[in-house]
Amino acid sequence: MKTILVVDDNHDLVDGIKLTLEMEGFEVLTAFSGQEALQVLEHTIPDLILADIMMPHLDGYELYIRVHRNQLWMKIPFIFLTAKTSDEDVRKGKEMGVDDYITKPFDPQDLVAAIRGKLKRVAELSGGPTTTEVWPHVKYVLQGRIGPVPVPVLILLLVAALVSLPVLFLRPQAQTQPQAFSSPLRADVSEMVTIPAGKFIMGGVSNGAKPPHEVYLPTYQIDRYEVTMEQYHAFVEETGHAAPWGSYAPEMADYPVTNISWDDARAYCAWAGKKLPTEAEWEKAARGTDGRTYPWGDTWREGVANTKEGGAGSAEIVGSYPQGASPYGVEDMAGNVWEWTEDWYNADQLGRVIRGGAWNAIHSWAQAFARNQLPPQTLQENVGFRCAREAQSP
């Protein structure tokens, strides 16, 4: 995992960038001044520094100069992220030798692309693998860290073992739960759970949540599990809809489908005779009627959800944490992958609500009331979905 040091005196901006980068699989260190950044560097050397220019006491220019005077730090890629947008400012930054110059306001995905591009270039120059390459990582570890391997067959066996690992695990049996609807409109598109009509407490006090308030919902149904690769593959085969993979990998059948836009998710649900859940429907299914913080209760429990703390490093087979199921028996509502919902995040209609946290998000984002957002066209390996619909008769 690559480490990024973010330096800016705007706390809200730092929090937003930190969340974006963590969702992309980076570890993020933060500092709110140039001086504080130097203190961080005394203890940890990051893979890249992202810094504002206009900061009190020690601005971004001076921070860059001090970093590049130090033999231990001078090779760290350095990107300015600033509101200084004049041609003169941009030229000054480039003349100093900064690796990139990004102006505010900015698109988060452009920022991520700039960071990934720079890290990839550094890896190419150093002979190391980039974060998205698999075989180079294996070869780099074997040859660079262990030394030359005299028997190529050993490498082939190692790769084969790594590839076959997912199919060695059987999907766990679901616990006995409240009523599950066993006759969906399409028999091939997942088990659904009925959520009874009634009021529940929606909202919370952190992570984008709206203030706690009472909401009434009629009876509805929601998928017990996140939509899987196998289910989405059936949709692609029947409709010709664009697939999120180059070629379908059967060994990944029971993993949640990801790299799916909001429109893709909505199209699948419509094909299945369903819809995306509203965030109210999603939240009630996740926490029940007693206002609990997590699907299982009010306190965090290790080992019951696939979040960053567990160290899995990727999505896992749906239903792998039955002990973390909601009061209605809906699984993976905490962690694994973020899930699209039907609603806009706010009135500006720039982002759709995503819920539930993910394998690379800290557990506070797995709280049942936590709200986050992404532009609806976003494709990410930690974002998937599940479907819902009005109650149907068996």
Q: Are strands 352-355 and 213-217 parallel, antiparallel or unpaired?
A: unpaired
Mean pLDDT, the chain, whole residue set: 84
**Dist. CA 305–CA 307, nearest whole Å:** 6
The CA R_g of the chain, rounded to the nearest whole Å, is 23
- Asked whether residue 350 carries a pLDDT value surpassing 90, the answer given is no
Q: How many other CB atoms sit within 10 Å of the CB of residue 175?
A: 11
* Single-letter amino acid code for the residue at 3: T
- Sequence-distant (6+) residues with CB within 8 A of 150 are none
> pLDDT tens for residues 47-67?
999 999 999 888 999 999 999
Tokens of 196: 């009874």
Tokens of 245: 């993979």
> pLDDT tens for residues 109-121?
889 999 998 988 8
What domains can you pick out in the chain, each with its CATH number?
3-126 (3.40.50.2300), 180-390 (3.90.1580.10)
Tokens of 266: 């909505």
Q: Are strands 198-202 and 213-217 parallel, antiparallel or unpaired?
A: antiparallel
| pTM, entire model | 0.58
Among 75-84, 97-106, 159-168, 272-281, where is mean pLDDT lowest?
159-168
Please give the average per-residue pLDDT across 309-316, as a whole number: 92
**Dist. CA 118–CA 215, nearest whole Å:** 47
**Dist. CA 325–CA 296, nearest whole Å:** 6
Alpha helices for the chain (secondary structure H): 11-23, 34-43, 60-69, 87-96, 108-126, 135-139, 152-164, 229-239, 262-271, 279-287
Strand ranges in the chain using DSSP code E only, listed in sequence order: 3-7, 27-31, 48-51, 78-82, 100-103, 180-181, 192-195, 198-202, 213-217, 220-223, 338-344, 352-355, 372-374, 383-384, 388-390
**Dist. CA 284–CA 290, nearest whole Å:** 10
**Dist. CA 272–CA 189, nearest whole Å:** 7
- Asked whether residue 145 carries a pLDDT value surpassing 60, the answer given is no
Please give the average per-residue pLDDT across 10-24, as a whole number: 88
- Sequence-distant (6+) residues with CB within 8 A of 125 are none
Please give the average per-residue pLDDT across 343-348, as a whole number: 91
- Contact (Cβ atoms closer than 8 angstroms) between residue 266 and residue 276: yes
- Contact (Cβ atoms closer than 8 angstroms) between residue 306 and residue 312: yes
